[in-house]
Structure 1
Amino acid sequence: MSVERALALVEDATIVADASSLILAASENPGGTELTTVRVLESIVSRLGGRTRRTMVAPDRPNLSIRFGPDPTPERPAVLMLGHSDVVPAGEGWSANPFSPRVADGWLTGRGATDMKGGIAAALQAMGAVSQVRPELPLELLVTVDEEDLATGIQAHISEPPGHYRACIVAEPTDLAVVIACRGAANLEIEVSGRAAHAGRPEDGASAITTAARIATWIADDHERLRAGAGGLLGSATWNVGRIEGGHGTSIVPDRCTLLVDRRLMPGETGEQALAQLEAGIARATDGLGCTAQARLQMEMPGFETEPTHPLVTTAVEALAAEGTEAPVQAWTAACEGGYIARHHGCPTIILGPGDITSQAHQPDERVLLADLATAARAYTRMLVLLHDTDSTT
């Protein structure tokens, strides 16, 4: 059976070695570029017998398309895997150099071990193994830049025409749960303009901070309204004011104030729709206060939801069960680029990867279990074969 032959080619030690090489290729964002990581990926893919194509998003920041087998066609669409080459800044608090990978006590430690160079290494090992046994299967891994900041990499990708994909597996860390639903996210900025005056006669001015406080109150109230209607796997959309900055000093009526706002989006909801809701709320909150406020959309990441009975989901659960791993089917509280893929290419999407986004990613001494890297690679191997052999997913 081709699945078993492919599984026999999966090398656990090679996954760890490849993940370690990717960690060594530091790609902090903001603060650096992803080019060194992309070069390491190209070397790994060359060894595995695949081919690569760079698409420059910005200087030294290329998206990388990795393919095994023939190019996808409408008659034979590919299974697409998705990852990103950047990592968040290392920050303080590490017990050793964050970009010097360490293997001890069954763990791989280093910035990116979980989010998400471990998952990429597991995906590549699976793709290489499957391609040796089933060279006729079209397989693709898209590795984007700038996922951790402004998502310019995935936005460059969706500026191209849609491709031919039967399914997308995002290798983000889910602790090997099968995530079938993910809210999107919109980052919004509000600039409030008032009129400065001496604090001894505040009525001569118009306080941008007071107006910003009214806007923040409207946001909090609308958040509660949304939460009151929560239901289903994803609950509801949410609002959060993450930062307020304004004013010049204690004795000056502030003439400016900026708010940075996070809005989690439900599947099918757009950042422009959230912006329109915010603008309507601002108009109500600021009426008669003598200030003006302008809102703009900084970044949008769409959400997605896949039916729990879809073959993509059931195949993932069965693949993990075959490895002795119980795979809960659940929603994700974070956001990821899978929503862009689901919307642009129109293909069912899940998130499944080694490591835990909550307890291991984005913190000092980031680490991932070696056993989970191996399990992920073996589950991906099963899925890449079985999804192509299941006619109902096409």
Structure 2
Amino acid sequence: MEVPVLELAQALLKCPSVTPADAGALTYLADVLARLGFEIWHLPFGPEGAQTPNLFARRGQAGPHLCFAGHTDVVPPGEGWRHPPFAATIEGDVLYGRGASDMKGAIAAFTSAVSTILHTRELRGSVSFLITGDEEGAAQHGTRDVLAWMKAEGHIPDFCLVGEPTNPEKIGETIKIGRRGSLNATVTIRGVQGHVAYPHRADNPIHRLVALTHALRSRTLDAGNAWFQPSSLQITNIEVGNDATNIIPGQAAVRLNIRFNNLHRGTELAQWIEETTRDYAPDASIDVAISGEAFLTEPNHYVESLARSVEAVTGRRPRMDTSGGTSDARFIASYCPTAEFGLVGATMHKVDEAVHLGDLDALRDIYRTFIQDFGL
């Protein structure tokens, strides 16, 4: 059977799959893929009673093996939509709905592209889907756990295409071949509370916190490189909890984030934060969480094939880029070459998230061209 991209996109958008709810999205997709001849694995991972829903599907066993990765979960819709956020309303040539661009539209486009090929011939290799229900959330038991299962079961692909919305304004502008890493840290400095008129009887932690943040901010982490912009440390919060004007507080905390390029590892930056903190506050508590390491897929024949496919359909030669936030590609890149290409992201996470119908068709055609050029 051939799956119309708009029909599938609307069906997925009507599932209110706000993280961690699935609301039937993965079940619906699995049913469509099963009818296309895919073998289906439902892979819930995580603690009992709070498991993350995940789906892996594969058709074919031979190489080359292309995997499409994405997520059916979405962020909360918020208030003020012109159309109900889960009604999948079409107005003019625009489809509205939470997840339209990020990224149910891309899932529909890739599925439709595969179905179009299968309508006329069999695949020469194999195609798989890695779809999680927890990309917009903590991402603890989604793509990472599925990848571990895929490795154990012999399903690691030759290349993975992630369908995140990569284009700023027009489809065909950008392919993401890497992402910066992300590190969050909270440093809590404890002092001795006291009266401001008697500072010798107190120990003001704010003074040491200010000196520490200045030291951290004063270091130039790097100047960037050919593929990445310079790494950036940003202070995101300072918490003292003191509303009185005549009290020296007993505790002060700072929270910071570092978006770092592939010149660094998260563990090295964490060690630098700890060593610098000890210079100003030896007894401070330090909590570091590394959301993901930086990665880069050097342009190879798979990436070039994707770029040719984009240009063939849109007439635009996409630029290779590594900017923006993180995605589940940060996990996949440890297993196989990975790149991201999807819809226009101008409305993602916004009220009235939407996709132009022409972009849905174009993305389906790009994916179909890429699948064929990939050797499938």
**TM-score strictly above 0.5:** yes
Q: Do the aligned partners of residues 252 and 156 (structure 1) sit closer, same or farther apart at CA in structure 2, a change above 3 Å counting?
A: farther
Report what 2:344 is aligned to.
Answer: 355
Q: Under a length normalisation based on structure 1, what TM-score does the superposition of the two structures give?
A: 0.83
Q: CA deviation at 1:158?
A: 4.1
Q: CA deviation at 1:161?
A: 6.3
Is 1:321 paired with 2:311? yes
CA distance in 1, matches of 2:273, 2:302: 36
What is the number of equivalent residue pairs in this alignment?
361
Secondary structure at the residue paired with 2:188? strand
Report what 1:4 is aligned to.
Answer: none
User: Which of 178, 182, 185 is the matching residue for 2:182?
Assistant: 185
CA distance in 1, matches of 2:150, 2:87: 39
Opposite residue 88 of structure 1, the aligned amino acid is V
Report what 1:54 is aligned to.
Answer: 42
Opposite residue 172 of structure 1, the aligned amino acid is E
Q: Do the aligned partners of residues 206 and 41 (structure 1) sit closer, same or farther apart at CA in structure 2, a change above 3 Å counting?
A: farther
Deviation per residue, 1:63-82 (Å, 9 max, x gap): 21122223x6xxx2411111
Deviation per residue, 1:256-289 (Å, 9 max, x gap): 33333221132374322221121122223x25xx
Secondary structure at the residue paired with 2:24? helix
Greater share of helix:
1
Report what 2:122 is aligned to.
Answer: 134
Report what 1:156 is aligned to.
Answer: 145
User: Which of 231, 248, 254 is the matching residue for 2:225?
Assistant: 231
Q: CA deviation at 1:42?
A: 1.8
Secondary structure at the residue paired with 1:61? coil
Mapped contact 1:342–1:349 kept (Cα < 8 A): yes
Report what 1:392 is aligned to.
Answer: none
Q: Under a length normalisation based on structure 2, what TM-score does the superposition of the two structures give?
A: 0.87
Q: CA deviation at 1:100?
A: 2.1
Is 1:374 paired with 2:365? no
Q: CA deviation at 1:302?
A: 2.4
CA distance in 2, matches of 1:326, 1:293: 53
User: Which of 320, 337, 356 is the matching residue for 2:328?
Assistant: 337
CA distance in 1, matches of 2:45, 2:206: 38
Gap regions ≥5 residues in structure 2: none
Q: CA deviation at 1:103?
A: 1.2
Report what 2:132 is aligned to.
Answer: 144
Secondary structure at the residue paired with 2:311? helix
Deviates more, 1:264-273 or 1:58-67: 264-273
CA distance in 1, matches of 2:87, 2:326: 28
Identity of aligned residues (%): 25
Opposite residue 371 of structure 1, the aligned amino acid is G
CA distance in 1, matches of 2:149, 2:70: 18
Opposite residue 193 of structure 1, the aligned amino acid is R
Is 1:247 paired with 2:241? yes
Secondary structure at the residue paired with 2:333? helix
CA distance in 2, matches of 1:211, 1:134: 67
Secondary structure at the residue paired with 1:262? strand
Secondary structure at the residue paired with 1:226? coil
Q: CA deviation at 1:119?
A: 1.1
Gap regions ≥5 residues in structure 1: 1-8, 390-394
Opposite residue 85 of structure 1, the aligned amino acid is T
CA distance in 2, matches of 1:372, 1:264: 31
Q: Do the aligned partners of residues 166 and 283 (structure 1) sit closer, same or farther apart at CA in structure 2, a change above 3 Å counting?
A: same
Secondary structure at the residue paired with 2:95? strand
Deviation per residue, 1:361-383 (Å, 9 max, x gap): 11111111211111111111121
Report what 1:111 is aligned to.
Answer: 98
The alignment's C-alpha RMSD in Å is 2.4
Q: CA deviation at 1:319?
A: 0.9
Is 1:97 paired with 2:84? yes
CA distance in 1, matches of 2:112, 2:253: 47
Report what 1:5 is aligned to.
Answer: none
CA distance in 1, matches of 2:206, 2:361: 53
Deviates more, 1:20-29 or 1:123-132: 123-132
Deviation per residue, 1:38-78 (Å, 9 max, x gap): 222223323433232122123252121122223x6xxx241
CA distance in 1, matches of 2:306, 2:40: 26
Mapped contact 1:25–1:40 kept (Cα < 8 A): no
CA distance in 1, matches of 2:137, 2:60: 32
Is 1:34 paired with 2:29? no
Mapped contact 1:35–1:61 kept (Cα < 8 A): no
Report what 1:174 is aligned to.
Answer: 166
Q: CA deviation at 1:131?
A: 4.0
Deviates more, 1:170-179 or 1:259-268: 259-268
Secondary structure at the residue paired with 1:214? helix
